[in-house]
Chain A
């Protein structure tokens, strides 16, 4: 992975920069010792590592502002980091950059049940928000599988999803407001406890911007009342095609399940061996369909989904009778990644989204690619919203296998785009999919996105080397190439 060439002049000033930052920040907020910096060399995408030039651990918005303002004045790169659970290398450090760790922003600032909102610092974990309002009967809907560890600030940066997105949306649909620090140290507030924006929806743009636009220092999310009841169906199918067909029919019938997860045969086996969730081992594909809401609604819809499943050729249908059984149905799915980790020394988790009906074709192609690359693949799939998580099994100690796994993964993502889907559904582009952006966007599309980046960070100091395959200077992007004699479509009649 090619990262931007480190700036030797900045690197040469490392000690001086550290001394400057110590004057701006409390002494324990600047980390210079190599062994202490080493902790931050990687995030959830462990294949990539780098040692940050310095690490800072601010506690307040004013401290973040001081760090960014200093870096802006001196042309020093910044890499923000939440809990470091990114699966796309979003928090991969830069050798000549200052890593800004947000872990000390760990307080919930306000629980406002009347407005159904929680105000939290960005380092608070996703699950801690739900925990804080659970007693009052509320929860925070987006539930990425890393929710015990991942921070709400990181969720904002990546627009994180989870298994309940189909019904409850991603982070962006559950976010009300932000405070953030711009690269020049200025502090802005976007949104609040009200809805929508009076001007441009910058809240929507910052969400999912992967730390390239600024550093979020406060987050306001909406919370929802916990549904009265939730039940799940566990359905086995004789083929991936019949399972995929069932997913389409459930949705076409007007039902939006709270969650609809699919696993293929290798994933079913790995999960069952690991947690004994009671999955049907003879099935080629498994669906978990969760319905939540008022008791009579869930009862009626469970029946309806079961009938659809039967008409699609399901070989086994089990409805959870109590909460313990529902949780057991989920246990296998939730343990799918570590389960696959048990049957292979390493695995590489992909994250494309496709139009659902392309699933059988995708799985067929993946089987073909699996043979071509000589690597096994297991599939877990947020079937309701078309988000695939193929897990490519490899051994990093076997020469060439990591490269083969990456090439296999890139082929899968190209295929996702070819069938009308996208490179990433919830993990982000980061460094991992950066060089594939051209598969989905042409140069003009990317240039327009980068002009937006320029509006926030003209010097390109915020998290450079992530998301965009080519770094352009903002002045060059801003130039207008349209002049009298060189208009597009010279064949068209003019006004």
Chain B
């Protein structure tokens, strides 16, 4: 059965989700967190090397990459895990679906609204930090910084998409939150360790030419590579990311992979929700 899409309905849901986050100061709180952390890390990022203060943009971005990899997926998963299961558990989903709206439109509206709130707080938080940093580092450095912010938004959307998928699949909010935290642990903390472990244990017994491709299976790694590969100096700081051949490090390829990480979980969510 073919159903045409009414974008107005997506807009109504998206608008409610977005303004809900503005009203309850979620956007403000996240933006403040991003600004404060960004400035602190930019200033104290080199403390381990015995120095503090603002350095070049490449080193600053390298420090911020670690922050974003920890923080943005966590915030996105927290934001999206109860998008559908929360409505279902409260009992409001039934009333929503009795309206002239399709499952697809409702899900997309939720995603777009939440993604808007996340993107807005990311832009506001890191944007403000960027403006403050530009006084120290010069406006030219902002070019890379803008790229960093856009990739941080893409990373957030990828994890938001995963969270929405979890929200559709989980039977209750408790399970959804457990799954969301588990996924954060897996992608942010465990995945790279797992790859390194396999690399070390294999001792060149296997053909590991496919190994760099495995980095594409983690949006956090894609984000790291996107932001690290541009800077020769920074590449040396990272271990796993540097095993990637130059052919797989094309920003377009990486960007497309990130988009796939947004589209695929959302596609599964739409399929399951129907």
- Same complex origin of A and B: no
